[in-house]
């Protein structure tokens, strides 16, 4: 047993770096060279060479420059994950990316990329690689833990591929055994969702499955920085029957609309009257290292909506949202968390489940159907 533990401890996370610039490849490699649990197994200057090297080297994680010139990052992501579905892709963009790069980043995330970071701005090389290391290491290590845990569950026959929409969404036996079935015995005024890593893909599955006559507004706090949330909202809007938009200051919530918190601002809900709610954008400090923060939004919902809310925590790293959803639960709100098997990272939902404040733990592809059932759309 001791020998097995030692062997596991000596396994290194294999990383392939794909970046169009020599300086970028060297900087990323330098940021990982002194990490004893990580091995940079190769670098590539283009997507086509990166694909060949990935097939040969079989890395655990690829760090991918979104601005690679020969293959769109979104196409690269889709193609490589069709070959190696357990591979992790961490995207890297410039500090203030152009619109076309933002679009590619969002599409790549929807196609299954694990997460992204922005390159630090206006720093000397030593400081820059230190910041890159600080931003990259948690994502690399969290993905590696998730990957090997998932592979172990698959080997034990305890999970299924969450990207297989049909097998999960139509599994009535699983649905009935996972939840306590009830119709719309209560009137709800709001669906409040908190999500982080894996969010673009998860939201791209849930929102398009909801009908245009969904009876209450949906507000989402996604951990995504400034410049990206408007494009994220636009992409979700294209795929959804509901109207999806980036939240605006002073906006009154309307049924059939989805509001995505703006990157770089906290989102606060204000109760105008018992069934009318207004959005406020707040420029306060980060909470749980996040801005927008799920906890900030959920806490504001407690006062504005009280128990007439369905609170949901989806895939994501960390514990942002746990305090807020606990407050919602204490007021009598309905609470739902995404399950471990279908979460890219079971950090936020897992922490909420362990806190004992979640009514139902559901697979990703069941959540939209459950929302329709609770709100009387079925």
Which residues are the active-site residues? 196, 223, 320
CA distance 262 to 277: 17
Helices 199-206 and 229-239: crossing angle in degrees, nearest 10, is 30
| DSSP element (H, E) containing 331 | none
Give the phi and the psi of residue 47 in degrees, each rounded to 5.
-65, -40
CA distance 162 to 179: 18
CA distance 103 to 125: 28
Secondary structure (DSSP) of 251-310: PBP-TTEEEEPPTTSEEEEEEEETTEEEEEEE----BTTBSS-HHHHHHHHHHHHTTSEE
Enter the tokens of residue 274.
């018992």
- Number of Cβ atoms within 10 Å of the Cβ of 1: 5
> Which stretches does DSSP call E strand in the chain?
13-18, 38-44, 61-65, 88-93, 115-118, 190-195, 218-222, 243-246, 257-260, 266-273, 276-282, 309-313, 334-338, 360-362
C-alpha dihedral sign at 242, 77, 229, 137:
positive
């Amino acid at each position: 047993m001791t020998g097995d533990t030692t062997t596991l401890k000596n396994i290194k996370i294999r990383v392939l770096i794909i970046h169009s610039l020599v300086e970028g490849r060297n900087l990323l490699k330098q940021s990982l060279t002194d990490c004893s649990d990580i091995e940079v197994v190769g670098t590539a200057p283009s997507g086509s060479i990166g694909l060949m090297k990935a097939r040969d080297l079989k890395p655990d994680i690829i760090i991918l420059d979104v601005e690679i010139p020969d293959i769109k990052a979104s196409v690269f992501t889709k193609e490589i994950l069709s070959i190696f579905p357990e591979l992790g892709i961490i995207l890297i963009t410039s500090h203030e990316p152009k619109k076309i790069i933002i679009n590619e980043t969002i599409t790549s995330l929807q196609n299954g990329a694990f997460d992204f970071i922005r390159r630090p701005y206006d720093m000397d090389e030593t400081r820059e690689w230190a910041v890159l290391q600080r931003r990259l290491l948690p994502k690399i290590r969290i993905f590696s833990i998730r990957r090997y845990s998932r592979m172990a569950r698959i080997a034990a026959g305890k999970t299924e591929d969450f990207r297989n929409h049909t097998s999960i969404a139509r599994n009535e036996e699983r649905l009935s055994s996972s939840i306590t079935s009830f119709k719309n015995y209560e009137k709800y005024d709001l669906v409040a969702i908190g999500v982080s890593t894996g969010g673009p893909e998860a939201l791209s599955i849930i929102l398009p499955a909801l009908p245009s006559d969904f009876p209450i507004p949906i507000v989402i706090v996604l951990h995504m920085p400034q410049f990206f949330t408007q494009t994220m909202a636009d992409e979700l809007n294209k795929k959804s029957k509901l109207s999806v938009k980036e939240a605006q200051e002073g906006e009154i919530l309307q049924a059939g609309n989805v509001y995505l918190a703006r990157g770089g601002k906290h989102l606060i809900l204000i109760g105008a009257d018992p069934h009318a709610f207004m959005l406020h954008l707040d420029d306060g400090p980060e909470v749980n290292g996040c801005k927008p923060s799920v906890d900030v939004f959920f806490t504001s919902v407690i006062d504005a909506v009280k128990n007439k809310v369905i609170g949901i925590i989806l895939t994501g790293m960390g514990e942002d949202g746990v305090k807020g959803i606990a407050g919602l639960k204490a007021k009598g709100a309905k609470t739902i968390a995404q399950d471990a098997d279908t979460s890219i990272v079971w950090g936020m939902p897992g922490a909420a489940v362990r806190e004992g404040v979640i009514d139902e733990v559901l697979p990703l592809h069941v959540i939209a159907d459950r929302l329709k059932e609770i709100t009387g759309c079925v």
